[in-house]
Amino acid sequence: MEYNYQEIFIGGAFERSTAPGRLDAINPATEETFGSAPDSTAADIDKAVRAARAAFRMSGWPHLAPTERAKFLHRLADIVVEKQDEIAALITAENGMILSASKAFNVFGGALRFNYFADFLETWQQEEIRPAVAPKGAFADGHSGTPAFRAPVGTGGTSPDTMGSTARTIVRQEPVGVVGIIVPWNVPLSSISVKLGAALAAGCTAVIKPSPETSLDAILLAEAIVEAGFPPGVVNIVTGGDEAGKALVAHPDVNMIAFTGSSAVGRQIARQAGGDLKKVTLELGGKSAGIVLEDADLDIFTEGLPTASLGGYSGQSCRASTRILAPRSRYSEVVDAMVAKLSSLRIGDPLDPTTQVGPLASSAQYERVSGYLEIGKAEGARVVLGGGRPAGIDRGFYIAPTVFADVDNRMRIAQEEIFGPVLVVIPFDDEEDAIRIANDSDYGLGGTVFTKDEERGTNVARRVETGTIGVNTGGMPPLNSPFGGVKNSGLGREMGPEGFGEYLVPKSIVRV
Cβ contact 322:288 at 8 Å: yes
- Single out the catalytic residue among 94, 213, 283, 502: 283
Least distance to ligand NAD from the beta carbon of 362, Å? Answer: 9
Strand ranges in 418-477 using DSSP code E only, listed in sequence order: 422-428, 448-450, 470-471
Question: Using the 8-state DSSP alphabet, how is residue 423 labeled?
Answer: E
Selected range binding ligand NAD among 40-48, 66-74, 240-248, 428-436, rule: CB under 6 A: 240-248
Instruction: List all residues 6 or more positions away from 459 whose beta carbon is below 8 Å from its beta carbon.
Output: none
Reply yes or no on whether 283 is catalytic. Answer: yes
Q: How far apart are CA 17 and CA 27, in angstroms?
A: 24
Counting contacts by CB under 6 A, is residue 419 touching ligand NAD? yes
- Single out the catalytic residue among 94, 213, 318, 494: 318
Counting contacts by CB under 6 A, is residue 262 touching ligand NAD? yes
With CB under 6 A as the contact rule, the residue among 318, 324, 385, 400 that binds ligand NAD is 318
User: Angle CA(89)–CA(94)–CA(96) in degrees, nearest 5?
Assistant: 80
Counting contacts by CB under 6 A, is residue 164 touching ligand NAD? no
Classified as helix, coil or strand, 428 is strand
Q: How far apart are CA 19 and CA 22, in angstroms?
A: 8
Decide whether 212 or 376 has the Cβ nearer to ligand NAD: 212
Least distance to ligand NAD from the beta carbon of 318, Å? Answer: 3
Decide whether 486 or 505 has the Cβ nearer to ligand NAD: 486
Selected range binding ligand NAD among 115-123, 215-223, 237-245, 451-459, rule: CB under 6 A: 237-245
Decide whether 36 or 302 has the Cβ nearer to ligand NAD: 36
Q: How far apart are CA 104 and CA 304, in angstroms?
A: 17
Binding mask 172-211 vs ligand NAD (x if CB under 6 A, - otherwise)?
----------xxxxx----------------------x-x
Reply yes or no on whether 318 is catalytic. Answer: yes
Query: Can you give the three-state secondary structure of 471-510, one letter per residue?
Result: ECCCCCCCCCCCECCCHHHEECCECHHHHHHCCEEEEEEE
Cβ contact 195:179 at 8 Å: yes
The amino acid at 180: G
Counting contacts by CB under 6 A, is residue 445 touching ligand NAD? yes
Residue of closest CB approach to ligand NAD: 245
Residues annotated as catalytic (active site), given as ranges: 283, 318
* Site residues, ligand NAD (CB under 6 A): 182-186, 209, 211-212, 241-242, 245-246, 249, 260-262, 265, 268-269, 283-286, 318, 417, 419, 445, 485, 490
